[in-house]
Amino acid sequence: MKRYFLTGLLIWVPLVITAWVLSTIINTLDQSLQLLPEVLHPKNLFGFSIPGVGALLTLAMILFTGLLAANFIGQKLVGWWDKLLSRIPVVNSVYKAVKQVSDTLFAPNGNAFRKALLVQYPRQGSWTIAFLTGSPGGDIRNHLEGQYVSVYVPTTPNPTSGFFLMMPKADVVELDMTVDEALKYIISMGVVAPPPRARVVTHI
């Protein structure tokens, strides 16, 4: 009986968690319907709500914004918008900080979260997976001797929280593993291991 119960759990737990995560994301994205007049809401048009319409609207808005910003006129508008926000107190500091982080994370030519690493943490001889986020900058660089890299060490099973560390470059090992594979490995607490590859890991 216990074996059957555990087998049922192994089937239902991933399904329920996946459904809950998708439901949360869709419900959050559906809030974009508030930007439309009430008369255009699905509930008023069809007499009932349609989950996911707001999510499609959000994706369409993001795609349209990207297409607009990719041409000359769009770049001018984005530049004008940045200048406008940079002149507003308080908003200026928050917007610049968020924009720098988003540019680092999502820029196609950026290096943030593009490499999975193996580092010793929280003590010597204990290893965990981390992600390369860049290199130390500002005045911090003046106080570090030798080459250092900035890494993000996620917690498990929730990789959205973690620790930011600056470590000697020689102590960091680059893994022949994609970021997606590393995240699955972390979330599963080491259960879902990526397939081995015929490659010797090297220091970055």
pLDDT in tens, 64-106: 888 877 777 777 887 888 888 878 887 777 877 777 767 666 6
pLDDT given for residue 25 in this prediction: 83
What is the number of residues in the chain? Answer: 204
Spatial contact of 39 and 33, defined as CB atoms under 8 Å apart: no
Query: Is 102 a domain residue?
Result: yes
> Do 105 and 120 lie in a common domain?
no
Q: How many domains does the chain have?
A: 3
Query: Do residues 97 and 146 share a domain?
Result: no
Q: What is the DSSP string of 13-82?
A: HHHHHHHHHHHHHHHHHGGGGGGS-GGGSHHHHHSS--TTHHHHHHHHHHHHHHHHHHSHHHHHHHHHHH
pLDDT exceeding 90 applies to what percent of the chain? 18
DSSP-assigned beta bridge partners for residue 117: 130, 174
The CA–CA distances, whole Å, from 120 to 105, 106, 151, 153 equal 24, 27, 12, 10
Task: Please report whether residue 4 resides in a domain.
Answer: no
159 Cβ partners below 8 Å, 6+ apart?
183, 186, 187
Query: Within a domain: residue 65?
Result: yes
Domain that residue 33 falls in:
22-69
DSSP state of 108: T
Residues of the chain with pLDDT under 50: none
Whether omega before 196 lies within 30 degrees of 0, making that bond cis, reads: no
Q: What is the value of pTM for the model shown? A: 0.56
Burial annotation 50-61 (CB, 10 A radius, 16+ → b, else e): eeebbbebbeee
Query: What per-residue confidence (pLDDT) applies to 45?
Result: 76
Q: Is residue 100 part of a domain?
A: yes
Burial of 21 (0-12, 13-18, 19+ CB in 10 A): exposed
179 is a domain residue: yes
